[in-house]
Copies of this chain bind each other. A is one copy, B any other.
Amino acid sequence: MNFNKRFNDYKEIFEEALKNRIETLNSSNETLKDAMVYSLTVGGKRIRPVIMLAVAEVLCVDLNKVLPFAVAIECIHTYSLIHDDLPSMDNDDLRRGKPTNHKVYGEAMAILAGDALLNYAYELLLRSVTDNNSLSAARMLALYAGAFGMVGGQALDILSENTAKNEEILYKIHENKTGKLLLASTLVPSCLAGNECFDKLSEYGKNLGLLFQVTDDILDVVSSALKLGKSINKDADENKLTFVTLYGLEGAKKYADKYYEKAKNAIENIEDNEFLVGLLDFVKDREF
């Protein structure tokens, strides 16, 4: 299996679906739509859509069935980045090597573009609900995107700045902020397939999410701004709670190895799992 080719194939399938959805996106005004499309198309690894498509293929789910969910989760991920980058949140000027949304469109429009993208995700999901399986997939994604998932994790992250470091809090932040959407990426196709391999994919997705986040924390220290496409060493500057500030660089790397192994073991009995294992290497060894 050529991992990179397959990754890019999934990415291309996704980009095509995203382009089609953008063309039919109705907005009462063009500037708002421009601001939404700017952040949706500014680049990005598309890791969540690629995971969804890959798991769907392993479970023999029609890719056309999972694609609206892939577009929706990327809309949710993108809105969260727009809001995270705002001056009152992380105050970032760069994202994926380009000016952040509020740097281009102003703060007010960036807030609204984020709101509209989140809303659009649900417009797409509701249009894609056609049976009980797609309904349960949409419900799960909604639960993991909100106060019980991603937004809850982001709120914890903000509250933890400048407070005493604590392993339990760190775990809870990562489990929710980054973890729940990555977990949803593995579980949406499972729901669409009538909960096939649900427990195994749940364990895989959970550890993949933690692996993703610990690698992010490591990259913040060791990568260059050029590769990462955003400001580096911000976490230490801001006294943020991360795997590196808590366990040091070597300690963080050991956690990465642990999550990698747990994720890999979880799917060892799933057929055609090579690409899913490759995704773990991709997440662990990435330089950006």
Contact indicator A32/B111 (Cβ below 8 Å): no
A170 within 8 A of B: no
How many A residues have CB within 8 A of the partner chain?
Answer: 53
Contacts of A226 in B (CB 8 A): none
A interface SS class? helix
- Given known A88-B111, A151-B112, contact A176–B28 (CB-CB < 8 A): yes
State the number of copies, please.
Answer: 2
Contact of B27 with A159 in the complex, beta carbons under 8 Å? no
Task: Give me 28 A-to-B residue pairs in the complex whose CB atoms sit less than 8 angstroms apart, sorted by A's number.
Answer: A25-B147, A27-B148, A28-B147, A28-B155, A28-B176, A29-B159, A32-B155, A36-B147, A79-B115, A83-B111, A88-B106, A88-B108, A89-B108, A109-B155, A109-B158, A112-B154, A115-B115, A116-B151, A116-B152, A118-B119, A119-B142, A120-B146, A123-B146, A125-B126, A126-B138, A126-B139, A129-B129, A129-B135
- List of 10 A-B pairs having minimum Cβ-Cβ separation, nearest first: A28-B152, A119-B146, A88-B107, A27-B147, A32-B155, A26-B148, A116-B147, A122-B122, A116-B151, A123-B142
